[in-house]
Structures are given as C-alpha cells and as structure tokens.
Structure 1
Amino acid sequence: MTPQGTELADRVLGGWLGRIAGNMLGKPVERGDHWTRERIDHYLRQASALPLTDYLPAPADDAAAAGLRPEWRQCVRGRVRGSCRDDDVDYAILGLDLLETHGFGFSTEQVGELWLLRLPYLQTFTAERVAYRNLVDGLKPPLTATYDNPYQEWIGALIRADVHGWTHPGDPRRAAALARRDAVLSHTGNGVYGAMWAAALIAAAFTAPTVRDAVQAALAVVPAGCRLARTVRRAAALHESRLGWEETLTTLAAETAGLGWIHTVPNAAVLTAGLLYGDDDFTRTLALTVRGGLDTDSNGATAGSVAGVRCGAAAIPPQWRDPLQDTVRSAVFGFDGVRIGELAERTVALAGSAER
C-alpha cells in the first residue's frame, strides 16, 4: 500500500494508462512549430470542445485536418481502438525490457545493444537516431551522444525515463541515477537532466502529499544552476504567485525563446505548468499540458504518467481508459499487441525486486 492508501499495482497501472492516454491526446497536434497554443485552442473552439475533457475531436473539415499528423484518425475521440504506435510508448516498453533483461545494474552499453536488437532504426528520431547510427558505426558511449549530434539537449531522453520512476516508488534519487545511465547514450547537459528530473518526478509522485511537492522533490536530483532546474523553479514560482495558466506559459515561452519546440527546457516548462495548474485532476492535467503546445504527445505522455500514478488506474475517467482496450501497438520487437495490464504487472514485479 502507498501512503495515499491505494495499492502499488493500481498506481503503476495508472502510470501506464496515463502515459498512453496522454500520448494519444497530444499526437494529432504534435508539431510545435505549427500547433501553437492559440491554434490548438482555435481548433477546439471550432469543435465546441473547450473545456477539453476527452480525446481531441475529429477535424470539422479538410482545412482543419490539413495540419494534423497522419495518425490523427486513430487518436481522435470515437476512433480510438487501442493505442497507436509511438516512440513515447515504445521507449517505456524498451525500458521495461531492459530491466527485465539486465536488471538494475544495467550498463549504458547494454541500453545500446538492446536498441539494436529490439528497435527499428526508422522508428527512432533526432538524438536517438544519431546515437543508433553511431552505435552501428562502432562508437561507444559517451561518444554515441556527442559525435555529430545537434540534438543532445532535446526531449528524447526525458521520454525514456518513466520505467525508472515506476520501479522505484518513493525513491527519486535512485530513479534519477538509473535514468541518467540510460540517457547518456544519446544526450548531454539538460537533455540528461530532463531524464533524471522526469524519473524522479514520477518516483516522487507515489509518495508526495501534492503534485507540487513531487515537482519540488524532483528538482533535488539535478544541478540547481542548470537551465532545466531554473525553468522549473520559475514555473513553480509563477504558479505560486497566482498568475493565470495562459500568462504563465506566455512568460515562460518568452524566457525560453530560441531553444526550439523539441528542446527539453521549454517542454519542461509546459509540463510543469500543466501539472501544477492541473492540481491533481487527471483530466485537467492532460488537457492543460497538451493545450500548452510544443511537443504535445511527449508532454501529454509524461503528464499522464504522473497524473495516473497520483490517482491510480481505478480513478482514471473511463473516456480516457476504456478506448485503449488494454492494448498497445509497438515497434519494439516482441511487444506489438501486448496488454497494458501485463506491462503494468511486469513493472510491479520489478518494483518488488528493487526493494529486496
């Protein structure tokens, strides 16, 4: 039993369900250079879908559909039949396979070996694709992260961190240490700090009294002076000052301008704001995070993971949970069509072994 009085199994399943639901919610508008906050809300207003309480509505016409990602047909409300394949979920599955194969003593080199065995090259992007190519060319970590890699501080390592938090409930430092070992295969600097922070955030979400406490606890695992930590603290301070959600995001966008829509730091700002202004309400957390723009499916996935851990699977509203049909599509070899419940059960077993 967790301090909140719910079973660990329910909380871990909540994390998996939340990650997948948040990813599905954000997937159609995952193009931050086009889908600004204003455009996302305009789309929702056209469909009379504000406040957002369910998956995105289908586009009203061809013009509205033109900017959506091709996967929108499997991700909008009324059309969700299990999860569509996405790297934000693939890496959670691959992380689970890593821990089952090599245990908590895994090496960064073993992370790379598993990628080559389990993950198709064309299903990797940005820093992960560079690291994959470098592995094939015979490079070893940390050169896999630094050689010819302009994406070292982008969000890829952060989206790989969940399993380390799920398997170390209430132990953010241990979760962060494992996430770092994974992240340095492909990232440096704030890219690595983002993964450490996310793993610690999810681990802390199991035991923290409030989501704000979880955000604060996660800051303790990264250097206080790094840009990621300064941005997260700034988001928390703006929230504490009672500035509105939109004004907070406008302020943070100005302060992180120029980093690009896939960089870890501005996305951590959107994610932090979504969590804090969502205030432990599952639906509101997902909605605000995705409406915040930038890398919407990645941010939605991580926000959903935290929110799902906080409330547990039984408390996730059915409009998010039921259409997933307990089924995951995945490019990870051997996992396509796996049950979400099975993934959660295997994660809980690992969490139990970590305690021994």
Structure 2
Amino acid sequence: MMIPNDYLEKVYASILAMNAGIRLGAPVEPPEWTAEMIQDVFGDITDYVKDYNVFSADDDANGPIFFIRSLLDHAKDRKLEPQDVAKTWLNYLREGLGMIWWGGDQISTEHTAYLNLKNGITAHRSGSIEQNGEILAEQIGGQIFIDSFGLIFPNNPERAAEYAEIAASVSHDRNGIYGARFIAACIALAFGKSDVHEIIQEALKQIPEESTYTKVVHAVMEFHKNNPDDFRACRQFLEDEWGYDKYGGVCHIIPNAGLCILALLYGEGDVSRTIEIATMCGWDTDCNAGTVGSIVGALNGIDGIAPNYRKPINDSIVASSVSGYLNIVDLPTFAKQVALLGYREANKEAPAELVKSYKEKEIYFDFTLPGSTHGFRTSYPFKTFLRNSENKGYTTSGSLEIIVFRMYQGDLSTVFYRTFYRRNLFMDEKYSPTFAPTAYSGQTVSMKVRIERLHGKAIVLTPYIRTTSDKKIIKTAEPIIGNNIWQTIEFTIPDTNGDLIEEVGLMIHSDSSRTKRAFGKIFLDEFRIYGKPSYEIDFNKQVVEFKCVTPFAHQRGNWTIEEDKMVMESDEDCSSYTGHYYMEDAIIEAKITPEKGNSHGILFRSLGTEQFYYAGFEANNKVAIGLKNFDTTVLASTDFKWQHGELYHLKVKAIDNNLSLYINDEHLLTVQDDTFQHGMWGLYAFEGGKCSYNNLKVN
C-alpha cells in the first residue's frame, strides 16, 4: 500500500487531534455529567471547558503510546502476536497504579485482563468471553488503545484492523475487538480518503456484517440521512434505542460506538466540530472525542486543527507507565517514532530527513514539523512570545521563534524545556503519572541560536538549568550577544548535589533603557540533551508525589522518606524504577540497610517491571547477579555473610556485557550477558520485607 507523501504530518495531526479530544472530553467524563447537564452548564461547546496548566495522564493516551512498544521490544522482525502485547502490558504497567483504570477485578476490563496475565493466563484467552464473560469483554477499551496501529498502516485498513485485533484481544473480545478493528481501519483510511461517509463505509468491511457493532453504525447512519442537521436528536435516538440501560458494565462499547459515528457524521469531517459534538453527547466523553479526533486529524492534516485546541497542548503530554523518563512525551518525537514504524512495517525505506530527525536515545528537537514547539515554554509571556518559524532554521526550514517585546534593564524572561514535572503543576492525580528527569548532571546540552535585534540595545542570552527542590537557577555558560548569525550554545550540565533538574533553557534580558526598549527575535534550533549521566539522589531534596518517592516509579510496596533515606516496606515482591531509559554503561551505587526479607539489591538495564538485571543479597548468606526476562534466572552467585540491620555499600558495574557486583568495595561477582544493552535502574525486594536506601549514585 502507498505511504502518502504527507504521512508524517498526518500522523502528527492525528496525534494532536486525539489529544485535543481527550483533553476536551475528560472534564465531563464522570457519569454525573449527562448530555443534558453538559448542555445546561456549557451550552454549545466551542473550546476547552477547563483550563489546565498541565493536563494529567489519561488512559486513552497511555495505550497508543505504550502498546506499540510491542513492535519495538518483541515483534521487531516478524508479525505481531497477542502475547507480544501481553508482555508489553506486564512490562510497562505498575500493578494498581496509573496507565489503565484499576476499577477492580470483574469491574474494570483492563484490571481483570492484567490479573489474568499476571496469573499466567496468556493472550488472547486473557481477554476472552470464555474467561471474563460477555459484558466485561465488550467494554469500550478495545477501541480506545489502538489508534497507533491505524497510524502505522496508512491506506491499509486490512493490516490496521488485523494488528488492532491482536492488540485488543489481550483484554477484549467480540464487539470489543470489532471496535478496535473498525476504528483502526478508519484511521488508516483517513490518510487517503476525503469524506467521513466513505471512511465509515469502507471500515465496515473489516468487521462482521451481522455484528451488533455494525448494526449500531448503520442505525446512526440511517438516522443522520433522515435528520442531517440535529445531532441532539440523534443522541436521543441512541439513548432510546442503544443506551447504557441496554448494555451492561461500566462503559459498554456499543452505545459509545454509536456516539463516535454520530460525531463523525454530524461533525462533517471538521476536527473541532467533531470532537465538540462527541463531548456534548456525554457518556465516555474523553474516549469518544479522542477516538474521533484521531480519525479526523489524519483526514484533515495539521491545518485542520484550530489554534484554540492545538496551542494549549504545546506538543507535550505526560503518561503514566513505569518509566518516568518515557512518561515525558514530546508529540512530534512520538509522531516520528510512529511514522518510522509505519515505514518499517511496510518494508519501505524511510525518508532520510525523517531518519535524521529522530534520535531515540536522546532529547532532540528540530522544529521541522509545521507549528511544532516541542513543549517549550516562557516564564514571561508578556515580554517573550513563542511560535514556530517555518522559514528560518539552522539547516532546515523550522525553528522556535522567540519574539522579544519592549524589554529593558531589569526585565528577565526564561524560555525553557521542562525536564521534570511536579505535583503542583497538575489539577488532579488522574492515572498517577510519575517522572524521571530527561536531563542529568554530566550530560551535554547543545542548541543553535540566532539573535535578530530590531530596536534598542543588545538582547542577551544566558543558558541555565533550574533545580526542582530549591527552584535555584544555575547559569551554565557565559552570556552570548549576537546579531543575525547562528551560534552554538553548548555546556555540560553541572553537579546539582543530589537535586533533580526541572528546566533547561535560556535567560533573556537586555540593558535597554525604558525609552529605547529592546525588540527582536531569537531563533532556536537543533536542541539536544545527550551523553552519559553522572549524578546522585539526595532524599533530603525529594518528596512523595503521585504515590511515589521522586524520581521513582514503584511497583508494589510502601515507599516513604525518613530523614535522608528512602524506606521500603512490603509483604510481597516489590521494586522501584528511575533513570534514563536508554542509559547503557554505568556504575550504580547505593547504601542499603536490609531490615526484613531475604532479597534486596540494585536492578539495572531495566526495560520495565519484567525485564532487567539485578544484583544483591539472597537467602542463606548468598549474593547473586541475575536476569529477569519475564522468568528469573540466576546468572551467578557466591557466599557472603550478611545480616539484617547492617549498613552495606552495594555497587554494580555494567560495562558492555560485563556485569559486576561489589559490596563494601569488595569485588564478589562478574558475569557476561548481552540480553539487555540499556535501561532504567532501581531497587528490588523480591520477597518484600523492609529496607532503607541512601547515597544513591549513578555514573
């Protein structure tokens, strides 16, 4: 099938429109918000109904971001299988926290499926009617997590539907799967069609003609044909004939499928109107508005997304997997990742400019996608205004354009990329996002800048970082002054003495007088954060937020801070994860005091909760280095007399394929293994118990 010339831009547009729909619908998702109440309070919706500083993680966005990692981690050179997606669930989800709705076994479809997988029931049995019953298997989740599979197969609805079914079968069955197939096909078709009616008709070919899903689609299409101007009448028709009272469970797919078709038809392909109608109709508003947003976003492209819906997203969302690093999501970068998978799955060579534009293992922003900002913000929008410049880049057409207004001596603005998020930025704790910084001491920051002074004295740029505990600005290089030439700013991030870094950016100021204030433009391009981290974590500078000790994501257990230590207590297997997801060679150190339990130590090169190396104490006065790759294998062990209540200095070295363990500076074990080449690091207690940790260092 033909990959269109504007493929990347349409992928980006679909992702933006999906997230606009999710953000629009989320505030009125709770069941207390009926369609009548939404109309009474908000009337005819034409913009976001709530302002967010930062919109919290949402399961509708988590799924499309993380479930395609089954193609990155497992099905790299073969066809996708249900168990690949099942492994992705097990590896990136933290049990009971974030990512999906943990509404209870036999209440939440996804929670039930996760427990099935955890208990050894493989996919697709894990989501089947035979295992979970018809009502649970036909809830809405089947169609809200699969957007990316539609994006990966542009103009190929058959493959899109096939892969969406594979993914959805982990947790859903029958109409739950038909919804996945249908929506993925719609998204794939949107790359080549120009009309929503044609998209719907073609997508129906991917699901059984006799299915309830097909019947509700036809019912809405027929109603629209006879009543093309009144979406509220169609909403009432759905309430009467296909409503929640006729389908069991918390959020059945059939009524919401009807609303998706309603929004597509009455929205007439317009992005704004389609997500607005989906929201005004109630029921599962964020799911439905996000789903139809994906379709009409791909249909219309970037120009079809209105500024009032695009600008607040600012290219940046947060997720809630076990990887705090991956949870800080840059949408242009994610769009490039999806597009590269699309070329891979089509056995096509990706364009050279796309390959060059995506650097998996570092932060890299080149502003080449139209209108992209890569999440940059300003502290003083009254004096510094940000937008994308589509005609002035360092080597390409795009850059971040910073317009400086009437700045004089004493004014100071910062323009920055946020590298870490704190709880105070959010209005709620929806889906419990957790974060590990995307910038660390020892790494290199590089960017290209060009200053164009239009009036007043020189505009001065000073690169900086900001720490998160004390909010301290640390200047990282000498100020630069320039006029109409591209310059490179590059610096090594300094030691932050155990604090985390939440901003990397530029301070902007001028010595202009009040009578001759500075006007000008700054162009920023090829922003990079790369290289080897070297840092420590001081628990005096950490807090418990989103049910986790910063900057960790916990898998089970109770983790708290006591004075200068992190303390774990658990009656079951537990672990904790942080760090750069693509960190390779490293020396990781921790001082730990095991109080209870026979298994304590450091985990490293972790891809998730089921894939990592570990090194530390075992029962019967042993220490070991092991591998967890869904099953656990001890790679080497030796005798070492240790006891509860004693303080030990553990050090792990992972250099190339050589993995070594030191305790109190004594070299005890070295093994060779090449299963994992990079990953997060953290701490574990396979039998639970109690343990305290401090003096954590990474080099």
TMscore range, shorter length: 0.7 to 0.9
Aligned to 2:158: 173
- Give matches, 1:272-291, under 5 Å: 272-291=261-280
Aligned to 1:97: 69
Work out whether residues 263 and 277 of structure 2, in 8 Å CA contact, stay in contact via their aligned partners in 1.
yes
Moved more, 254-263 or 161-170: 254-263
Work out whether residues 263 and 274 of structure 2, in 8 Å CA contact, stay in contact via their aligned partners in 1.
yes
Given candidates 18, 24, 40, the residue that maps to 1:42 is: 40
SS of alignment partner, residue 338 of structure 1:
strand
TM-score relative to the length of structure 2: 0.45
- Give matches, 1:274-353, under 5 Å: 274-334=263-323, 335-353=326-344
CA deviation after TM superposition for structure 1 residue 132, in Å: 0.5
Post-superposition CA distance 1:301-349 (Å, at most 9, x none): 1011112111112331111111112111101233211201100011111
CA deviation after TM superposition for structure 1 residue 148, in Å: 4.0
Which of the pair has the greater relative contact order for Cα pairs under 8 Å at 6+ separation? 1
Given candidates 107, 127, 132, the residue that maps to 2:81 is: 107
Moved more, 92-101 or 143-152: 143-152
Q: Which amino acid aligns with 1:130?
A: T
Q: Distance in 2 between matches of 1:280 and 1:145?
A: 33
- Give matches, 1:214-233, under 5 Å: 214-233=199-218
Work out whether residues 24 and 84 of structure 1, in 8 Å CA contact, stay in contact via their aligned partners in 2.
no
Rg bigger for which structure?
A: 2
Aligned pair 1:254/2:253, yes or no?
A: no
- Give matches, 1:180-259, under 5 Å: 180-243=165-228, 244-257=230-243, 258-259=246-247
Aligned pair 1:11/2:6, yes or no?
A: no
CA deviation after TM superposition for structure 1 residue 350, in Å: 1.0
CA deviation after TM superposition for structure 1 residue 96, in Å: 2.8
SS of alignment partner, residue 54 of structure 1:
coil
SS of alignment partner, residue 128 of structure 1:
helix
Q: Distance in 1 between matches of 2:333 and 2:342?
A: 14
Query: Which is strand-richer, 1 or 2?
Result: 2
Q: Which amino acid aligns with 2:11?
A: V
Work out whether residues 37 and 291 of structure 1, in 8 Å CA contact, stay in contact via their aligned partners in 2.
yes
Post-superposition CA distance 1:245-280 (Å, at most 9, x none): 111121122111321561111000001000110001
Q: Distance in 2 between matches of 1:148 and 1:41?
A: 36
Q: Distance in 1 between matches of 2:39 and 2:63?
A: 29
SS of alignment partner, residue 220 of structure 1:
helix
Aligned residues: 327
Work out whether residues 18 and 292 of structure 2, in 8 Å CA contact, stay in contact via their aligned partners in 1.
yes
Aligned to 2:146: 161
Q: Which amino acid aligns with 1:251?
A: F
Work out whether residues 28 and 38 of structure 2, in 8 Å CA contact, stay in contact via their aligned partners in 1.
yes
Q: Distance in 2 between matches of 1:144 and 1:95?
A: 16
Work out whether residues 194 and 299 of structure 2, in 8 Å CA contact, stay in contact via their aligned partners in 1.
no
Moved more, 155-164 or 257-266: 257-266
Work out whether residues 166 and 202 of structure 1, in 8 Å CA contact, stay in contact via their aligned partners in 2.
yes
TM-score relative to the length of structure 1: 0.88
CA deviation after TM superposition for structure 1 residue 289, in Å: 0.7
Q: Which amino acid aligns with 2:42?
A: L
Work out whether residues 197 and 222 of structure 1, in 8 Å CA contact, stay in contact via their aligned partners in 2.
yes
Work out whether residues 64 and 148 of structure 2, in 8 Å CA contact, stay in contact via their aligned partners in 1.
yes
Aligned to 1:128: 110
Q: Distance in 2 between matches of 1:347 and 1:202?
A: 13
CA spacing shift, 1:284–1:111, aligned 2, 3 Å: same
Post-superposition CA distance 1:265-299 (Å, at most 9, x none): 10000010001100011111110011111100100
CA spacing shift, 1:80–1:228, aligned 2, 3 Å: farther
Q: Distance in 2 between matches of 1:164 and 1:246?
A: 32
Q: Which amino acid aligns with 2:21?
A: G
Post-superposition CA distance 1:64-95 (Å, at most 9, x none): xxxxxxxxxxxx13x343x4201100000013
Work out whether residues 10 and 314 of structure 1, in 8 Å CA contact, stay in contact via their aligned partners in 2.
no
Aligned to 1:28: 27
Work out whether residues 67 and 88 of structure 2, in 8 Å CA contact, stay in contact via their aligned partners in 1.
no
CA deviation after TM superposition for structure 1 residue 99, in Å: 2.1
SS of alignment partner, residue 157 of structure 1:
helix
Q: Distance in 2 between matches of 1:314 and 1:342?
A: 19
CA spacing shift, 1:255–1:196, aligned 2, 3 Å: same
Q: Which amino acid aligns with 1:259?
A: Y
Q: Distance in 2 between matches of 1:39 and 1:311?
A: 31
Aligned pair 1:143/2:117, yes or no?
A: no
Aligned to 2:92: 118
